Amino acid sequence: MTQHDLDILASDQERYAAEERLRFAVEVGRLPLEQLASRLDEVHASRTRGDLEVACRGLPAPGPRDALVVDRAPTSGRFVAGIFGGFHRKGQWVVPPRMTFWSMWGGGKVDLTEARFSSQETRIRAVALWGGTKIFVPEDVEVDVRGFGLFGVFDKRAARRTGTPGRPRVVIKGLALFGAVVTRTGKH
């Protein structure tokens, strides 16, 4: 950042990002818990971006995949259906601990690659009856696929028993009857 950027007034979103940065630093052992309250006070009192940088001094900025499990409410319902139509979930959203995807004479795409999880383990039930659902999972999470295809396909190619340590686990169960549930790694 240039000196000019540091003099710009801080937004609420930038303060929230600084709070997350401090909490993450405590979580991974870079900042002692005893210092968290005083650093958060500095963040709340910050007027400029430079003040926020001072409050987060000595801490690396989190990478794009840090803090996958968050302490926030899910931003999607637990039941998503595509009946004679479709559904789509993608981008930055918070996944509930349990979800059901129902495709009947329709289809859906669910992209978890930019999502955050509200629980260390997420259980997804995917049912495709004469329809289809594609689920895109991040490369660094553990994925367990246990579905069954009856005159259909329940693809298990993205299943991985090991992910990066400390990362979330996604369990996908369900049924594909004259339809398909396909799980892929990476973005669509």
* CA separation for the pair 25, 36 (Å, rounded): 9
Burial label, 13 (beta-carbon count in 10 A; 0-12, 13-18, 19+): exposed
Longest dimension (CA), the chain: 64
* CA separation for the pair 106, 99 (Å, rounded): 18
* CA separation for the pair 68, 47 (Å, rounded): 29
Contact partners, residue 20, CB within 8 Å, separation at least 6: 62, 67
pTM of the predicted structure, to 2 decimals: 0.65
Backbone angles phi, psi at 25, to 5 degrees: -60, -40
Q: What does each of the 188 residues of the chain score in pLDDT, given as a tens digit? A: 566 677 889 888 888 888 888 888 887 788 899 999 999 999 999 999 999 999 999 887 666 556 677 777 888 889 999 999 999 999 888 999 999 999 999 999 999 998 888 888 999 999 999 999 999 998 888 899 999 999 999 998 888 766 556 678 999 999 999 999 999 987 66
* CA separation for the pair 119, 129 (Å, rounded): 28
The pLDDT of residue 112: 92
The pLDDT of residue 62: 64
The pLDDT of residue 70: 74
